[in-house]
Structure 1
Amino acid sequence: MPISHYTGLPHSTRYHELLRRRLGLPVWEYKNDFMRLLNTHQCVVLVGETGSGKTTQIPQWSVEFAAVTAGKSKGVACTQPRRVAAMSVAQRVAEEMDVALGQQVGYSIRFEDCSGPQTVLKYMTDGMLLREAMSDPMLEQYRVILLDEAHERTLATDILMGVLKEVIKQRPDLKLVIMSATLDAGKFQQYFDNAPLMNVPGRTHPVEIFYTPQPERDYLEAAIRTVVQIHLCEEIAGDILLFLTGQEEIEDACKRIKREIDNLGPDAGELKCIPLYSTLPPNLQQRIFEPAPPNRANGAIGRKVVVSTNIAETSLTIDGVVFVIDPGFAKQKVYNPRIRVESLLVSPISKASAQQRAGRAGRTKPGKCFRLYTEKAYKNEMQENTYPEILRFSLKRTSTEFTSKDYYINIRKALVNGFFMQLKIGFSLKRTSTEFTSKDYYINIRKALVNGFFMQVAHLERTGHYLTVKDNQIVQLHPSTCLDHKPDWVLYNEFVLTTKNYIRTTIGRPYPDSEGTVAVPEVSPGASLCHTHERWPDTSLVQFVANFADSHHRAGFRAFNFLQKDLIV
């Protein structure tokens, strides 16, 4: 009986079942070609259509390559733009390799690392690999790095491509594979010095596409109506995939679809409605792989409908989907430099995204795609590809997190100019902090917060809304705020635009205290407040600083207890 060289145990029945499926994947025919390219080139660009098997098979072949060329000393990393994909694909590949998840195959996402010393293949979000590069610039623990879904052009993936281009110049032993689901791979080839291109066709069946004759006034209502009509009128068995823009919209659609089907009575087939979005708990995300309900005794077809954001475009493959409903919209994060705010806006998708969505209908049999927009809009109004995130995002936070190594402290230069001695003296000083029991403890924390966020302040107007000091923007407290009242002044961390202008992560000045005042802390040495609102002179803002810092501690500040030993005030 065959023995697993990972565990030393006989292969399970499940392994042999999955192996038969793997051998039928389109990508399997190209294994020898891929291994040859990986052996002879440092960088390979691979274009694989949706459902070809590239996300699950290419990393496993890379593990085989790493085992032969580097032994057990170096592993393989495969990035995904979404944590949902990283977790689900890692689980699937662990089953295919007949190992326990977290052992030879693992995943790493924000706040969760399911891997160990034995891990040879790690799926992770692109942001997590960037984090690893900060502590290990040469990524020495990896023999092969794969950037999957590169066509989505997320900010982290684009930065990774820039980082890895420099790393492979200094590490000839490192192999890099760029994987994309679209045919627009020429840019990737050109960027990586004309790297070889490998095309893998997908296993798709014909997909019939339908357009609406006129634009829909309410795409959500039209989408729900289309789901019900498909379920009742289509005689072909098959599941439905509906694309919507976000959690709130998806939850609302699921409730309305369920209500519509329940009102039809027992004559209609059972319809299981399953939501899918990034913040859904992992155990609930796995429901999308559950089978559809059985047909009723009267012959009515049972189906499931997956109502998903655009994460189901390429990151996840759901077998059994025959009907796709595409309203033509998705949420995109956009930065407005005029008011310096990031917002999630519902925007039209690109032609490339529309093609990816339609391709989901032809995975197992001929399918149908219902586009809730006109053919003219598709041809003339949609852009070819989605704008890369790096062109839509604010790079302020990214530039501070991932500073170029040229700006790190150079110890030799510091020794020459004496700066190192100043650092040494500074580090040798005793670090002090106010005692936790002192009444000044939380006051000093507030001083520190105001010193850092003095320009992120808003004042309560008589109308009940807030006005930001810096840009005179009308804002409201985010519904998730923990404040139980509306303070006259608030300090905020984020300014976001959704349905309204919201300030999030807010700290309010509590009600005035009767025990006196404390000294006004420095707002920011040398900072100019000339852009504050004309009705609020600098003295008003400074007075806010004093009042804010003077208030006694409240229960809401107990989250800052970890600063007790580290905060220098």
Structure 2
Amino acid sequence: MANCSLIISFTIRMLTMMCCSNVDRRDRDRDRDREDRSRDRDRDRDRDRDRDRDREPKPSSAPSNSTPAAPGLPPLKQMVLNQQINPFTSLPHTPRYYEILKKRLQLPVWEYKESFTDIITRHQSFVLVGETGSGKTTQIPQWCVDMVRGLPGPKRAVACTQPRRVAAMSVAQRVADEMDVMLGQEVGYSIRFEDCSSAKTILKYMTDGMLLREAMNDPLLERYGVIILDEAHERTLATDILMGVLKEVVRQRSDLKVIVMSATLDAGKFQVYFDSCPLLTIPGRTHPVEIFYTPEPERDYLEAAIRTVIQIHMCEEDEGDCLLFLTGQEEIDEACKRIKREVDDLGPEVGDIKIIPLYSTLPPQQQQRIFEPPPPRKPNGAIGRKVVVSTNIAETSLTIDGVVFVIDPGFAKQKVYNPRIRVESLLVTAISKASAQQRAGRAGRTRPGKCFRLYTEKAYKTEMQDNTYPEILRSNLGSVVLQLKKLGIDDLVHFDFMDPPAPETLMRALELLNYLAALNDDGDLTELGSMMAEFPLDPQLAKMVIASCEFNCSNEILSITAMLSGNAQDWADVLLACLPCPGL
């Protein structure tokens, strides 16, 4: 068994390398960005020191602040502006820090800092509803860091979970800039196969699945003083399990604070689940949004979406960027190519257009393109526009300033599991009313906007569900049961799910794990099952990797497992390139 454990450890590393062939490139890009930012900060600090040294001191005067007083600001904001030394690095703040700080102080969430401080001081858990653009994802964790640093006893970190990897990485970078520190030091992130953090990290953004894996080795999550579940309204599988786990942890740890953050106003269910905890509502900066529906259902929503983008670019006289929601990478890449080609064919009298795709498998440096400015106007007055073509990640996880026009076909991809045939499929399904409202709200961030819904008003009112169906009710629960068993939760029937899954689905998951020898006949976790839980894979794939050691076929099984668990389009491109005749 010891030899098998060594082989399994090796296979995990091999699987990691095969599933993430772009990690090394991402690390090099990230290190290069770190070096550039470090040089910029050093240059700014040297310039500040030279400026201060050349300045004649006046003995009778008090030391001057690096930022002048801003008349009319509340004392709390003025105190923040007057802070000259970075408490994390013990160095003077850079000029860029103050530029960012002035924008931060304009976020709606800052008007509620005193209310937030009062609630988190008096309560162990509470729900915060903040509309997209309110600043909750970037500011609330920083306030929690300030609170944790001021508490006596062992210094603990703050964890903020995100449903998507793109959000975890981009928000961590933004917050590191706001705190004037290096990404990977005081502020870091952790996603599958990539950990950009260190022993100094006091604020970590991570996917909900990564925090769940930490709980397997540390059931009470002792290293954290505050845990924030962001975008809880998306009801991912890992978030639902985490809520059940954390509800039990707060009963055992009186020093732990739990904050559940949502972008939708329907937060009553979260309140009831966490024993009628307090609710803090923070409005966003929204302007009126005009909604347009199609008179008849669209047969081809992709074609209709492309036509709508081109018509907006040609006919709308107001400046403003476009945000188009599509279901996945293949649709997005196709739409980007066609929009660019058709706009170029219109001739030089039409304004320039910048097409930017956004989906989870894009490298970080390409994801940051969504924040680039649009093309300038042409001499003939034609307006240049930026068009972001995104999956539903842009609904709530990321805020893109400058968007005035939103095109919403009304679809998204969801995992759906059929327990009778034991097959999980990724299907294109209609979105909920809550998602449609979130999409429309993206058009009103900076000024009044327009949302073009490519479905009828009747479909919106009568056919769409009010909220997104929780993932736990439409997923394969094999991994869920295995993780709960690894967490030491044996009584699955009485586990406090917010939405309990169907008994049939739960029983089939138990039968599957027993068949794979991950559970014995009494339902207890076996040694094999404990090893399977360490793999970020479906139970069948984890068992296959472990069993390959016995049959001396690990290399072949690792390749197969990597293809089955990786991105289908990426592997299709790899296999196509291997064909002797690419046209076949």
On whether the aligned pair clears a TM of 0.5, the verdict is: yes
Post-superposition offset of 1:206:
0.4
Distance 1:493 1:296 in 2: 47
Aligned residue for 2:468, secondary structure, equals: coil
Post-superposition offset of 1:338:
2.1
Aligned residue for 1:17, secondary structure, equals: helix
Match of 2:200 among 110, 118, 128: 118
2:290 is the counterpart of 1:184:
no
Distance 1:141 1:127 in 2: 17
User: Over aligned residue pairs, what C-alpha RMSD do you find?
Assistant: 2.7
One-letter amino acid matched to 2:405:
F
Aligned residue for 2:111, secondary structure, equals: helix
Which has the larger share of strand?
A: 1
2:272 is the counterpart of 1:199:
no
Distance 2:363 2:98 in 1: 30
- Describe how 1:466-481 pairs up with structure 2 within 5 A: none
Deviation track 1:251-298 (CA, whole Å, cap 9, x = no partner) reads 000000011001011100000000000111111111111110111110
Match of 2:187 among 97, 105, 116: 105
Post-superposition offset of 1:482:
7.5
Deviation track 1:66-98 (CA, whole Å, cap 9, x = no partner) reads 111146610100000001000000000111111
Equivalent residue, structure 2, for 1:305: 387
Equivalent residue, structure 2, for 1:331: 413
Distance 1:203 1:496 in 2: 38
Match of 1:314 among 379, 396, 404: 396
Number of residues of Structure 1 aligned to a counterpart in Structure 2: 434
Equivalent residue, structure 1, for 2:117: 35
Equivalent residue, structure 2, for 1:405: 488
| Contact 1:74/1:143, CA 8 A, preserved across alignment | yes
Name the CA shift for 1:379/1:70 in 2 (closer, same or farther; >3 Å). Answer: farther
2:375 is the counterpart of 1:293:
yes
| Contact 1:189/1:195, CA 8 A, preserved across alignment | yes
Which of structures 1 and 2 has the larger relative contact order (alpha carbons within 8 angstroms, sep 6+)? 2
- Describe how 1:44-59 pairs up with structure 2 within 5 A: 44-59=126-141
Equivalent residue, structure 2, for 1:161: 243
Name the CA shift for 1:444/1:243 in 2 (closer, same or farther; >3 Å). Answer: closer
Distance 1:165 1:444 in 2: 39
| Contact 1:341/1:495, CA 8 A, preserved across alignment | no
Name the CA shift for 1:277/1:70 in 2 (closer, same or farther; >3 Å). Answer: farther
One-letter amino acid matched to 1:375:
E
Equivalent residue, structure 1, for 2:169: 87
Post-superposition offset of 1:444:
7.7
Post-superposition offset of 1:307:
0.2
Name the CA shift for 1:406/1:222 in 2 (closer, same or farther; >3 Å). Answer: closer
| Contact 1:272/1:305, CA 8 A, preserved across alignment | yes
Post-superposition offset of 1:498:
9.4
2:451 is the counterpart of 1:372:
no
Equivalent residue, structure 2, for 1:217: 299
Name the CA shift for 1:238/1:400 in 2 (closer, same or farther; >3 Å). Answer: same
Distance 2:411 2:472 in 1: 20
Deviation track 1:317-360 (CA, whole Å, cap 9, x = no partner) reads 00000000000000001001222111110000000000000000
Deviation track 1:186-209 (CA, whole Å, cap 9, x = no partner) reads 111111110000000111000000
Aligned residue for 1:293, secondary structure, equals: coil
Aligned residue for 1:331, secondary structure, equals: strand
- Which structure: larger Rg? 1
Distance 1:495 1:176 in 2: 32
Which has the larger share of helix?
A: 2
Deviation track 1:406-447 (CA, whole Å, cap 9, x = no partner) reads 559xxxxxxxxxxxxxx9xxxxxxxxxxxxxxxxxxx98574
Match of 1:272 among 342, 349, 354: 354
One-letter amino acid matched to 2:329:
Q
| Contact 2:216/2:483, CA 8 A, preserved across alignment | no
Equivalent residue, structure 2, for 1:476: none
Distance 1:253 1:154 in 2: 28
Equivalent residue, structure 2, for 1:13: 95
Match of 1:146 among 228, 236, 251: 228
One-letter amino acid matched to 2:242:
L
Distance 1:172 1:290 in 2: 45
Aligned residue for 2:151, secondary structure, equals: helix
Equivalent residue, structure 2, for 1:227: 309
2:425 is the counterpart of 1:343:
yes
Distance 1:70 1:137 in 2: 23
Aligned residue for 1:335, secondary structure, equals: strand
One-letter amino acid matched to 1:197:
L
- Describe how 1:483-562 pairs up with structure 2 within 5 A: none
One-letter amino acid matched to 1:353:
S
One-letter amino acid matched to 1:214:
E
One-letter amino acid matched to 1:53:
G
Distance 2:345 2:128 in 1: 49
One-letter amino acid matched to 1:295:
R
| Contact 1:25/1:53, CA 8 A, preserved across alignment | yes
Aligned residue for 2:150, secondary structure, equals: helix
Deviation track 1:161-208 (CA, whole Å, cap 9, x = no partner) reads 000001000000000000000011111111111000000011100000
Aligned residue for 2:170, secondary structure, equals: helix
Match of 2:366 among 253, 267, 284: 284
Equivalent residue, structure 1, for 2:72: none
| Contact 1:87/1:107, CA 8 A, preserved across alignment | yes
Distance 2:481 2:158 in 1: 27
Equivalent residue, structure 2, for 1:63: 145
| Contact 2:484/2:490, CA 8 A, preserved across alignment | no
Choose 14-23 or 398-407, whichever is displaced more: 398-407
Name structure 2 gaps, 5 residues minimum: 1-65, 67-83, 492-526, 528-546, 576-584
Distance 1:323 1:331 in 2: 22
Give percent identity, aligned residues only.
71
Name structure 1 gaps, 5 residues minimum: 409-422, 424-442, 454-480, 484-490, 507-569
One-letter amino acid matched to 2:488:
K
Distance 1:157 1:16 in 2: 35
Post-superposition offset of 1:249:
0.5
One-letter amino acid matched to 2:203:
L
| Contact 2:325/2:389, CA 8 A, preserved across alignment | yes
Post-superposition offset of 1:13:
1.2
| Contact 1:223/1:327, CA 8 A, preserved across alignment | yes
Name the CA shift for 1:70/1:318 in 2 (closer, same or farther; >3 Å). Answer: farther
| Contact 1:324/1:369, CA 8 A, preserved across alignment | yes
Distance 2:186 2:154 in 1: 11
Distance 2:489 2:295 in 1: 57
Post-superposition offset of 1:50:
1.1
Distance 2:563 2:85 in 1: 55
Normalising by structure 2, report the TM-score. 0.71
Name the CA shift for 1:170/1:365 in 2 (closer, same or farther; >3 Å). Answer: same
One-letter amino acid matched to 1:395:
L
Distance 1:189 1:212 in 2: 37
- Describe how 1:447-458 pairs up with structure 2 within 5 A: 447=551
Aligned residue for 2:182, secondary structure, equals: coil
| Contact 1:343/1:498, CA 8 A, preserved across alignment | no
Normalising by structure 1, report the TM-score. 0.73
Distance 1:497 1:90 in 2: 24
| Contact 1:342/1:497, CA 8 A, preserved across alignment | no
| Contact 1:294/1:301, CA 8 A, preserved across alignment | yes
Name the CA shift for 1:492/1:254 in 2 (closer, same or farther; >3 Å). Answer: closer
